[in-house]
Structure 1
Amino acid sequence: MGELALTGGEPVLGSLAPVDWPRTTDADRAAVLAVLDSNVMVSDRTSAETAVERLERSWAEYLGVRRCVGVSNGTTAIELALLAHGVGPGDDVVVPALTFVATAMAVVHVGATPVYADVDPVTFNVTADSVAAVITERTKAVVPVHLHGLSADLAPIAEVARRHGCVVIEDAAQAQGARYHGVPSGASGNTATFSLQMTKNLPTCGEGGLVVTDDERVAERIVQLRQFGETIRADRPRRYVSHRLGFNAKLNNVQAAYTASQLERFDEYHAARRANVAAFLARLAGLDGLVSPSEPDGYEHAWHILRFTVDFERHFPGVDTATARNVLMKALRAEGMPATRYQMMPLPDQPALRSLCRQEPGSWPVAQDVVDRSFTLQQRHLPPDAGPLLQSFADAVEKVWSQLKAVAELAEGAGR
């Protein structure tokens, strides 16, 4: 396959693959222009159905849930969901030790304390056992994250939470399109939150979030919380009366119109992404020491992010894991595959959260091991027409794997 690009050979791709997501079509532009032409830019207008309300109705119908509430972003969605369920100061909330920092920050922002459950080494999600290991009488909520687009094993997690009197709030920020035993992520009977940030599988033109629930009271609390605690009704003028301490956390109509337009193509995009990723992962299945992400029986992965783990002890003997991982990633990137780490550390080791953690350091060994031994390919390189690009990435991985001995020698020299 030729000399490694890292040592002067020709790369598989001439440069790192460009970022090209979301894909904005004429239909998306028309939807946004219709809002601009209407001059109804925010969601507190009551004279007619707004773009936000249309998106809320469409997403609720898509999932088969009773209510959807649009908010300013995915982090705010978690915060408002926690508050709507009465979570606050003095409460503990179980979150994964491996996820994006927003999950735990949302807990801290409502005055509660995040408690970290370790993750499964294959799915990278919390399990019923890991949740049960850290749940206490102080625990008010469990927030399983459907990391990278794969649902957590919700049924046993929900049973653990039920036995302890805790609410389950699903963080489905990365899981639009995922399914768990045939049920769409977010439609399992729990309150669930989604991000519409532009890198997500269902994006907006910037930032946005959605909260879904079958509980009308929870939905109405979130509606109040997103706008200063007010009750906005279509049958009367706005009264400017705040019934609870709320926020200014609305989704605007331009963002909602853009997402609603994207939703029209969502199933098509989802199917294409799944086919492309399946063909890509099939190419890598036989590579020794490389563990590709998988889709357990009964699950449908949304493939928002692909995380690969490597048996560095096998191929890089005597080299510390961090050095081996970094040199391997440099070799892949030199060939044009944009391998990244995504998480640099387990969530409780983030500097902003470290002082708030009551658990002993190292209480999440699997999360630490996954962070140490993995690299990722992120969603912006997995658009629905990325089939040929993913095949080029497979060429790059195969090329590097065919010369792992040379990569290991480079790593050994770098580690001295």
Structure 2
Amino acid sequence: MSNFRELPRWPQLSDDDVEAAVAALRSNRLVGLGNPVVDEFEAALAAGQGVGHAVVVSTGTAAVHLALHALDVGPGDEVIVPTHTFIGSASPVTYLGARPVFADVTPDTHCLDPDSVKSLITERTKAIVVVHINGCAADMKALSAVGAEAGVPVVEDMAQALGTSIGGRPVGGFGDLACVSLFEQKVITSGGEGGAVLTDNPVYADRIRRLRSHGEGQIEGRPGLIWAHEVGYNYRLTSVQAAVGLAQHARLGSMVAARRHNAAYLSERLAGIEGLELPVEPEGTVHAFWKYVVRAVPGGGRPPAAEIAATLRSRGVPVLLRYPFPLHRQPAFADHAEVSLPVAERLSQELLALPSHPGLAEGHLDHIADEVRKAFAP
């Protein structure tokens, strides 16, 4: 393989996915309340994650926005968010006029550090956003305890973690609300974009259903008539997207199994390389391995992670630096520039994401492992 364009891309839509989309198009019921395909997809997501309600929306970022809106986050409030994550975990806080407060992460899982969260809680803290990063489960026992002690609700951002579980229980039901992404590169997709909010709280679920469609809902005592109960958004998911998501969801188990197989295969091939730290799977959890993230340990005469990544790309491995700019160091959050979060800042210079998606065969993984071994050789 001479360049990474020869590696299979992700996502890979099946004939079932395409046929489901075509059937939805031909139904002539593309959007609207009570759409049967949307309802079926929501029921499948809720059942799969073991929660009472799933409300599908247009993107994962919209899901975080609506979850925080349902908690009445607003001006003057603070929401604790890890700095080592995608911006969509934090930007919805600012949509609502609140202030994100960035917390550090743990050096092994790269998930939110409960001690960092505890140190940042104030009387203004309105919510804690916990990200199950890369498909690795955060320490929900400790983080839920921190939230409960302070009387602060917890929102699970599981954009990268469909298929992840803790003690045999899928993530998404440990917090007050949870947010799913169905973006094209995620564990499953609804055809490019999409998301969902999960909750066991029917009050939150009802409000989010209303907010996703302009705040409109039925007028009590006047069947068939609706009005805007509050100002909402246009965050609906189409029936075509729901149909693709439903078809993909039926294969979630096999896709996660393929990711886990590929991760185990890479770990076996990469074991023992000096200066390379492999991903961890916390005891009692199942890691979905949306990303296979390794750490290039500094020292030993080895080049820095950015140089290793450039070398690997030149050799046909589409490796990426993993969150090289913590959120509190980015221009969008310039007022946080003086914050010190040493673990995330260090990891931003050391983490590499290697391809491991289900479209890769063992031959592709052998190529990746061989080139990584060469790149780390003295």
Show the counterpart of 1:341: 321
CA distance in 2, matches of 1:110, 1:175: 25
Deviations 1:40-78 (A, max 9, x none): 00132x4xx521111000111111110000011000000
Q: Which residue of 1 aligns with 2:354?
A: 377
Tell me the equivalent position of 1:30. 19
User: Hey, what's the Cα distance between the residues in 2 that align with 1:199 and 1:220?
Assistant: 29
Distance 2:175 2:24 in 1: 33
User: How big is each residue's C-alpha offset from its partner over 1:306-328, in whole Å with a ceiling of 9 and x where there is no partner?
Assistant: 22111222233xxxxxx732221
Unaligned runs of 5+ in 2: none
Match of 2:47 in 1: 61
1:329 aligns with 2:318: no
Which stretch of structure 1 is more off in the superposition, 182-191 or 148-157? 182-191
1:168 deviates by 0.2
Partner of 1:162: 148
Secondary structure of 2:81's counterpart equals strand
Checking the alignment, whether the CA contact within 8 Å between 2:93 and 2:100 is kept in structure 1 is yes
Q: 1:120 to 1:189 in 2, by over 3 A?
A: closer
Greater CA drift, 214-223 or 275-284: 275-284
Q: TM-score, normalised by structure 1?
A: 0.87
Task: Give me the whole-angstrom Cα distance separating, in 1, the residues matched to 2:306 and 2:43.
Answer: 46
Question: Is the Cα–Cα contact under 8 Å of residues 29 and 239 in structure 2 kept in the other structure?
Answer: yes
- Listed one character per residue, the Cα deviations across residues 122-151 of structure 1 (whole Å, up to 9, x for unaligned) are 100112111101111110100010011111
Letter in 1 for 2:55: V
Q: Give the 3 Å change call, closer, same or farther, for CA 33–304 of structure 1 in structure 2.
A: same
CA radius of gyration, larger in = 1
Residue pairs, 1:6-85, within 5 angstroms: 13-16=1-4, 17-18=6-7, 20-44=9-33, 46=34, 49-85=35-71
Q: CA deviation at 1:385?
A: 4.4
Q: C-alpha separation between the residues in 2 aligned to 1:275 and 1:82?
A: 36
Is the Cα contact below 8 Å between 2:190 and 2:241 reproduced in 1? yes
| Amino acid paired to 1:346 | P
Preserved CA contact (<8 Å) 1:149 1:176? yes
Given that 1:43 and 1:251 are in contact with CA atoms closer than 8 Å, whether structure 2 keeps it comes out as: no
Q: What's the counterpart of residue 300 of structure 1?
A: 286
CA–CA distance in 2 between the matches of 1:334 and 1:232?
58
What is the identity percentage for the equivalent residue pairs of Structure 1 and Structure 2?
38
1:72-100: CA deviation from partner (whole Å, max 9, x where unpaired):
10000001000111111111000001000
Letter in 1 for 2:310: K
* 3-state SS, counterpart of residue 116 of structure 2: helix
**Any residues of structure 2 matched to 1:233-312 within 5 Å, and which?**
239-312=225-298
Asked whether the equivalents of residues 43 and 50 of structure 1 are also in contact (C-alpha less than 8 Å), the reply is no
**How many Å apart are 1:167 and its aligned residue?**
0.4
For 1:221, the equivalent position in structure 2 comes to 207
Comparing 341-350 and 84-93, the one that deviates more: 341-350
Structure 1 SS opposite 2:255: helix
SS in 1 for 2:244: helix
Aligned residues: CA RMSD: 1.8
1:15 partner amino acid = N
Q: Counterpart in 2 of 1:386?
A: 361
Deviations 1:323-360 (A, max 9, x none): 732221122112211111142311111111123x3xx7
Q: Distance in 1 between matches of 2:32 and 2:203?
A: 20
- Displacement, 1:116? 0.8
Matched, 1:88 2:49: no
The one-letter code sitting in structure 1 at the alignment partner of 2:142 is P
Q: Say which SS state the counterpart of residue 143 (structure 1) adopts.
A: strand
User: Cα deviation per residue 1:197-216 (whole Å; 9 max; x = unaligned)?
Assistant: 01000112111001000000
The AA in structure 2 aligned to 1:369 is R
Structure 1, residues 147-190: CA drift from partner, whole Å, max 9, x if none? 11111101111111111110000000000100112111112253
After TM superposition, the structure 1 = structure 2 runs for residues 151-230 of structure 1, keeping only pairs within 5 Å, are 151-230=137-216
Q: Which residue of 2 aligns with 1:412?
A: none
3-state secondary structure, aligned to 2:217: coil
CA contact (8 A) 2:8 2:359 kept: no
1:366 aligned partner: 343
Give the structure 2 partner of residue 133 of structure 1. 119
TM-score if structure 2 supplies the norm length? 0.95
Contact between 2:155 and 2:175, CA under 8 Å: does it hold in 1?
Answer: no
* 8 Å contact kept, 1:96–1:118: yes
Is 1:352 paired with 2:327?
no
1:272-317 superposed Cα distances (whole Å, 9 cap, x missing partner): 211111011111120011101111211111101122111222233x
In structure 1, distance between residues paired with 2:144 and 2:100: 18
- The whole-number CA distance in structure 1 between the counterparts of 2:365 and 2:275 is 20
2:190 and 2:58 map into 1 onto residues whose CA distance is 11
Structure 1 gaps of 5+ residues are 1-12, 317-322, 405-416
What's the offset of the Cα at 1:238? 5.1
